[in-house]
């Protein structure tokens, strides 16, 4: 990182950003072709959970290469200047790396879906067996992550 003074390394501050985020971006690669998608998520204990349809480009890529990069950002605000090249951006972000695996166990899938919903609502939801079976649920075991902030 070029500006070490803007780096966030403590897990508590990194998790604060993750818990405040509304979406995360998942980056993956297949045959040297990058692909990025925004997703809804749940987070607990250095693990990100997301759901998906069982088919599609994202799932095809992840089945062939489960190594991913991810990004969260919050508090984004452009900082104006009188000169075009002097504009800046205020933000806090997290970037990390990990590996995706697909959850097959019904109870674990229900728990992950509940965690995802908790990220967006205080309501408790019930998931029927049919809903759980029809939904692909994946998790990212985080191997490394770091944060950054900018206020200038």
Q: Which of 1-5, 61-65, 70-74, 111-115 is predicted least confidently?
A: 1-5
**Model confidence at 152, in pLDDT bands (50, 70, 90)?**
low
Which residues form the domain of 90? Answer: 4-150
Total-model pTM: 0.91
pLDDT tens-digit readout, 10-65: 999 999 999 999 999 999 999 999 999 999 999 999 999 999 999 999 999 999 99
- Rounded distance, CA 15 to CA 13, Å? 5
In the chain, the number of structural domains is 1
Identify the CATH number of the domain in which residue 33 sits. Answer: 2.30.110.10
How far does CA 94 lie from the centroid of its chain? Answer: 9
């Amino acid at each position: 990182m070029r500006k070490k003074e803007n780096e966030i390394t403590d897990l508590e501050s990194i998790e604060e950003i993750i818990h405040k985020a509304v979406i995360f971006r998942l980056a993956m690669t297949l045959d040297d072709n990058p692909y990025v998608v925004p997703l809804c998520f749940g987070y607990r204990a250095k693990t990100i959970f997301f759901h998906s349809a069982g088919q599609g480009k994202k799932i095809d890529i992840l089945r062939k290469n489960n190594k991913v990069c991810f990004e969260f950002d919050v508090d984004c605000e452009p900082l104006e200047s009188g000169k075009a090249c002097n504009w800046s951006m205020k933000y806090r972000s997290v970037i990390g790396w990990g590996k995706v695996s697909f959850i097959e166990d019904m109870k674990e899938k229900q728990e992950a879906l509940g965690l995802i919903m908790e990220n967006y609502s205080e309501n408790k939801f019930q998931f029927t067996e049919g809903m759980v079976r029809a939904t692909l649920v994946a998790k990212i075991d985080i191997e490394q992550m770091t944060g950054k902030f900018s206020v200038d």
